[in-house]
Chain A
Amino acid sequence: MKELTAFHDAANCKTPEQLNISKKIIGYMCSYVPEELIHAAGFHPMRLFSSKSDIVLAENHLQAYCCSPVRGVLENSLSGRLDFLSGAVFPHTCDSIQRLSDIWRMNNRYEFFWDVVWPAKLNTQSALTYMKDVLIKFRQDLENACGTSISDETLHDSILTYNTIRKKLSRIYELNAQNPGILNACDLLAIVKGTMIMDRDTAAMLLNTIVDQLEKKQPPDKPVKRIIIAGGICDSPDVYTIIEAAGGCVVADDLCTGQRWFKELTDETTDPISALVKRYSQRLPCPAKHNGLTKRGDHLVQLCQTHKADGIVFMLLKFCDPHGFDYPYLKETLDKHHIKSILCELDDQQQNSGQLSTRIETFIHMI
C-alpha cells in the first residue's frame, strides 16, 4: 500500500518541510492535549518523541533517573532539532512532565508556551467544571496567539476531522484484530505514530483509503498468538517486530501512543467545549489521572476478553512512576482472570536488546 509510505515518513521524523507542513507547529507529548483546539486555531499539533540520540545537553537539566521520553524530548529541543516549533503545550500529567514544563519554559526557545493544567481526578463535578475553565482559558490563549477568534463552527470542524481520524484508526485496529496479519506490525505502529505527526487533514484522507483497501484484503492463512501491548509510550518498532517474528500479532493495546489516544470520539451534537470536556474526562484513563480505583484493570480484562487475547505484554518505560505504581495491581487483576502477561522494562535510548527478544519469544511460545 503506497499510502503507508507517508505514515512511515512521518513516524521516522522527517522534517516539516519534507512532510509538507506549512502551518505553525505546536509540539506536545501527551495524549491529554486537546488537539482539536490547536487545530482549530490554525496551528499544527505535533506529538514529540525522543529521537533516541545521546543525552548531552539535557544532562545539565535532568538527572539520569528521569524517564527517557522526557529527557529525550528536552535533548531534541536544546540541541535545536525542534527549531521548527512555534511553541509547545504541556498538560499536567506526571511529575516528570510537570517539571519538564518548567524547564522548557525557563529555557524559552519558542514563540509560544502553554500549560494546560488539567485536574488530576476526572470523576467529580467540580473537576469537570474546572476542566471546562481550563479549556476556555486555553481557547483564549490560542486566540491571542493566532490573532483571530476560534468560532464554534471552526472548532466543530476540527472535531469532525479528529473524529474521522479516530474512527478510521479504530477501524484499522478492528480489521487487524479480526484478520490478524493483514497489516504487518511495523505498519500498524507507523500508522498511529505517523498520524500524530503529519498534517491531520491529510492523515484523515489517507486513513480512509487504507481502511478501504484493508476491507478487501485477505488475511494470511497462518495461526497467530493474539497479543495486547499495555503501558505508556511504546515507540519501538523492534518490539512490534519481535512479537510478529515470534508468531504473535498485536490485536489491541492500552497505550497512550495507541488506543488510549484515539479510541473515544467527541460528541458532535453538543457545544464543542462541553463535548471536549466530556471526551477528555471519559476517555480511557492514563494512570497519571484518577478515575476510580479499578477502571484500568477492568478495561484491560475486557479488552482481553473481547479480543480473545492470548496474552499481554507490558512495555513499561524505566523511571515511569504512574505506570510503575499501577503494574502490580494490573498484574494481579489479570492473574485472577487467568490472563497471561509478561513485564518488559525498556528505555527509549537502548532499544532492542537480545534479552528483550528472548523474553518476548519465550512468552509467546509458552502461551
Chain B
Amino acid sequence: MSDDQKNNLKIKSAKKMRDLMTTYYLEALTARQNNKKIAWITSGGPVEPLLAMDIIPVYPENHAAMIGASKMGEDLCVKAENMGYSSDLCSYARADISCAVVKGGPLGGLPEPDMLICCNNICGTVLKWYEVQARYYNVPLFILDTPVCHTGYSPAIAKYVETQLGEYIAFLEKICKAPFDYDKMQQVGDLSYDAQMLWQKILETAAHKPSPMSAFDAFFFLALIVTLRGTRIAVDFYQELLEEMTQRINQGIGVVPDEQHRLLWDNLPIWPKLKWLSDKFSSHNACLVADTYTSAWCGTIKYVDKSQFLKSIAEAYTRIYLNIGVDQMADQVMDMIDFYDAKGLIMHSNRSCKPYSFGQMDIMNIVSKKKGIPVLMIEADMVDPRSFSTSQIETRIDAFMEMIKQRS
C-alpha cells in the first residue's frame, strides 16, 4: 500500500482530538491560578453538576490510561508496590496513588483536588482508592453510592440514589459557597445528552461494512466523552467526527485494509499494547468493530430524560454495564454481536478489574452456546505490562484467527 493510501485510511479528526485534550489538561493544570476549583471524579460518576458549578473535573482513570499508553505504568505500579500496595490491586489505582506522591507520569502529576467525587457504579475499588486520596490530600470526599442492580432497579435503589443526588448538590454548594445553578445545569444536561447521542451514533457507524473505525479508534476518541461530556466542545467535536465517519462510509473507506473478519472486544483496552494489538489484528484483515467498554458512556442514555435530567440520571448512572448482573451483561454482548455482525469475541481477562473480568467465563459460555461463534480469552492488564506475555498472546491470536478464517 502506498503512503497516500495509508494516509487515506487514517481518521483525520485524531489531531483535533489531541489538541482538545491538551487544552483540557492545560486548563486543569492552571485552574488554581484562575481561581477555579478542581474535583477528581471517577469515570462513571455524574460530572454534569460539577460543570454547572464551574468546577473543573479531572479523571484519575483517564490519566492512568495515559500513563499506560505512554508506557509509564510499570514504573508507577512498582512504586505503589513499594508503598505497600499489593501488585494484585487495580493498576489504575496503583499508578494514580504513586503518581500523586512522586508527581510522575506524562504530566508530572495531576493538579491537586479540592474535592473528590467517587461513584461506585464501576467497582468497589474506587471506593478504597478515593479513601486513600482523601486521606492523602485531606480534602472532602463525596460518595455517590449506586447499589448493584443484579436483577433490576428497585424503588428502594431509586429513592436512595435520587436522594444522594440532592446531597451531592448540597455538598457542591457548601464547597463553592454558592447556590447551585439550575439553569446552567439544564444547559449542561442538554449538552451531555447530545454528546452521548453522538457518541452512540459514532460507535454505530462501525456496523457498516467495511467499518470506518475500530474499537482501537473508539478507545482513543473515548477521552472526550469521559472528560468533557456536558460541554459544547464535546458536542461540536463529536459532530465533526460523526461527519467524518459518514463520509468514510460513503466513500467506502474501511479502517482495516481489506476487512474480512469482524470481531468484538470485551473489557478495558490493554493500553501499553494498543498499537501492537491493532497491527496484529490488521495483519489478519480483522477489524475489532466494537467493544463493551466504550459503549458504556452512552449505554444507558435510554434512561435519561432531558426535561428531568437530574432526576433521571439516578437510573442512568446506576444501571451502567458494570453495575448489572452477568446475565444481563451477556445479553448486551449478544446484542452487540448481532448489531455489528461480529464473527468472533475477544475477551481481555483483565487482572486489574475484577468486576469486569469475573463473570466473563460465564458470558463466554453463553455466547458460544447461543451464538456459536469462537471466543478467545487473553489474560493481561490494562496498564501493567508485566502481565502481558507477548509471545504467548501472539500464538493464541494467530491460532484463533486461523479458526475464524476456516469458518468464514
Contacts and interface: CB of A to CB of B under 8 A. Distances in A.
State yes or no: do A and B come from one complex: yes
Interface of A: 60-63, 65-66, 92-96, 98-103, 105-106, 115, 117-121, 124, 126-127, 129-130, 133-134, 137, 287-288, 290, 293-294, 316, 318-319, 321-322, 324-329, 331, 345
8 contacts: A60-B361, A96-B354, A103-B358, A105-B150, A115-B148, A325-B132, A326-B128, A328-B85
A30 to B, nearest CB: 13
A100 B357 CA distance: 12
Nearest to A289: B127
B145 A134 contact: no
Contacts of A287: 128
- Sort A-B residue pairs by CB-CB distance and give the 6 closest, nearest first: A328-B84, A325-B128, A99-B358, A133-B156, A130-B160, A102-B326
Nearest to B329: A102
Contact of A95 (B123, B145, B163, B325): B123
Contacts, number: 147
Interface stretch (B18-26, B45-53, B86-94, B400-408): B86-94
Contacts of B379: 63
A101 to B, nearest CB: 6
Interface string B107-129: 00000000000001001110111
B195 to A, nearest CB: 28
A119 B145 contact: yes
Contacts of A328: 83-85, 132
A136 B268 CA distance: 38
Contact of A98 (B145, B351, B355): B355
Given A98-B148, A103-B362, A288 B163 contact: no
Given A117-B147, A293-B141, A329 B326 contact: no
Interface in B126-185: 127-129, 131-132, 134-135, 141, 143, 145, 147-148, 150-151, 154, 156-157, 159-160, 163-164, 167
Contact of B327 (A62, A106, A331): A106
A103 B355 CA distance: 12
B365 interface: yes
Contacts of A65: 88, 351, 354, 357
B365 A96 contact: no
A293 B128 CA distance: 10
Nearest to A70: B358
B362 A61 contact: yes
A325 B156 contact: no
B349 interface: yes
Given A325-B89, A328-B83, A120 B358 contact: no
A325 B129 contact: yes
A133 B362 contact: no
A321 B354 contact: yes
Contacts of A133: 156, 159-160
A327 B355 CA distance: 21
B85 A62 contact: no
B359 interface: yes
Contacts of B159: 129-130, 133
Contacts of B84: 327-328, 331
Given A66-B354, A101-B150, A102-B325, A319 B125 contact: no
Nearest to A98: B148
Contacts of B349: 63
B359 A103 contact: yes
